Chains A and B, each alone.
Chain A
Amino acid sequence: MPSTLAEFSQQLANTVEKAGQSVLSVLEGGRAGVSGTVWREGIGVAVDHTIQGLEEVTVILPSGKETIVSVTGRDPGTDLAILKLPTDTPAAALGDDSGARPGEIVLSIGRRGTEGLAATYGLISAIGGPWRTSSGGRIDRWFRLDLNPFPGFSGGPIINAGCEVLGIATSGPGRSAAVVPAATVNRIVDQLVKHGRTVRGYIGIGVQPVAFPEDAWQKLGISGGRGLLIIAVAPDSAATESGLMLGDVIVAIDGNALQSGASLQSMLDGESVGKPVSLGVVRGGQLMKVAVTVREKSAS
């Protein structure tokens, strides 16, 4: 019977070793180095805030070779950045994070400087639906991991027992380990490779949530009491072009009653740039429609 345990132990170590072939170390990241994952041939992924302000970073490749690589794209929304790597580094085997189940064993693999591979292990505790980061990034799936973070683990892969990458490890709330799922990373990498940046929409308004009293709903002909009061309009923006004014209350987007402030964020995903959106707006006690063409958010 102890041989079953020895086998299990060796398999864990084998899985760590195999995944480690696609894990690199970013020397200038974080406090004493962070990890990065070879996502595709020639493309590495790291956690953006750990390498903030750096155009080039020194990495130690899985082969042991130390080289300087450039940071070729960043997405602050999802806190991911991509690095241009030499093409001869094997890319990680990506898994389908939509197939993951609570209870599955996961490992967090990291590489810090010349220390070699490091790992922690645990389970997927819970899986939830899509969510948005505070900077507006869209994360395809929420995972709660019962797994310890460790110095330099950010940017490394979270792998399942089959050695497939479920996503990129990053810091979660309260010093926990969190993961940006593979589906999200793929989407962001596609955009960063194509444009060098992620495209975000921009209308040019500052808003504050407000609630209409119930008798006002029917009088105005709106469903649900939620609205977003426009408290700022940026000059020369999509908002000014469309005629949106201070004091307007947005109550619907493309005919759909506003669910929350996040509904506006979904209007601003890269795919909607250049497209017209019809906003239901209450102005001076009257419900009206205002067409807005979402522009691209400038880099500054």
Chain B
Amino acid sequence: MNRNTQLGISLSEAVSSVAAGMREITVKVSGSKGRHGSGTVWWPGLIVTNAHVANSQVHDVEFEAGMKVPGWLVARDCDLDLAALAVSAPLARGAAIRSASHLRAGEMVLALGNPFDGRGSVTAGIVHCPVGNSPRLLADIRLAPGYSGGPLVETGGSVIGINSMIVGPLGCAITSDAVEEFLSRFHLSEAA
């Protein structure tokens, strides 16, 4: 096998393995009228998703392993399009979170979620432009409605944003930094 084929396979496997690692912290969130979106386990007990996905008091939250629990709305910011759901589930860990401020244009990112038929999916793209001070990150990535609320991760497997909307051909995510600020505004913090 020549080196290029090897590298191609390594890259493929690497993307798959990052995606596999991320499925544990990606959930499916039921919305109104049979619609569904996604959510990200920010820490054990707390799911972060979009405000447009979580628009009622309680939602069904389904984990990759099949476990289904109710998620209670505990925070919502419609301007930022963020919401937080409290769940009672035996989760060992939440996502590894990293600031989006260091990301450069061209860096690869993966989006996870539950588009179309509602089963877990991953899509890959690149950071479109550096975030600067904005709470929104633009990526050259193909999102679809069911990805909303799911994690946007960088190649190391850390979450750097929450997928939230489609802007023309590009995808938009709320940065992890904006999520942290949103959670502290609602006085939500991980139990020690």
User: Chain A: residues with CB nearer than 8 A to chain B?
Assistant: 1-2, 4-6, 8-10, 12-17, 20, 107, 109, 115-121, 148-150
Contacts and interface: CB of A to CB of B under 8 A. Distances in A.
Nearest to B103: A13
Contacts of B128: 118-120, 150
Nearest to A114: B132
B168 interface: yes
Given A17-B106, A150-B169, A119 B129 contact: yes
Given A118-B129, A119-B126, A121-B140, A1 B10 contact: yes
Nearest to A112: B129
A12 B11 contact: no
A16 B17 contact: no
Given A9-B154, A148-B169, A150-B169, A1 B107 contact: no
Nearest to A16: B106
B155 A5 contact: yes
A150 B156 CA distance: 27
Given A115-B129, A148-B170, A150-B170, A9 B105 contact: no
A121 B18 CA distance: 20
A5 B11 CA distance: 6
Contact of A1 (B14, B130, B156): B14
B161 interface: no
A120 B108 contact: no
27 contacts: A2-B17, A2-B18, A2-B157, A4-B11, A5-B108, A8-B11, A8-B14, A8-B155, A9-B106, A9-B154, A13-B105, A13-B106, A13-B127, A17-B104, A116-B105, A116-B130, A116-B132, A117-B105, A118-B105, A119-B127, A119-B128, A119-B140, A120-B128, A120-B169, A120-B170, A149-B169, A150-B169
A2 B155 contact: yes
Interface residues of B, number: 29
Contact of A120 (B126, B130, B154): B126
Interface string B123-146: 001111110100000101000000
- Name B's interface SS: mixed
B13 interface: yes
A118 B139 CA distance: 10
A6 B104 contact: no
A116 B129 contact: yes
A116 B127 CA distance: 13
Nearest to A11: B106
A9 B129 contact: no
Interface in B71-121: 104-108
Contacts of A2: 14, 17-18, 155-157
B58 interface: no
Contacts of B127: 13, 119
B169 A16 contact: no
A150 B104 contact: no
The 6 closest A-B pairs by CB, nearest first: A16-B106, A5-B14, A9-B108, A13-B106, A148-B169, A118-B129
B69 interface: no
A15 B106 CA distance: 8
A47 to B, nearest CB: 19
Contacts of B18: 2, 5
Contacts of B156: 2, 6
A121 B128 CA distance: 9
A13 B129 contact: no
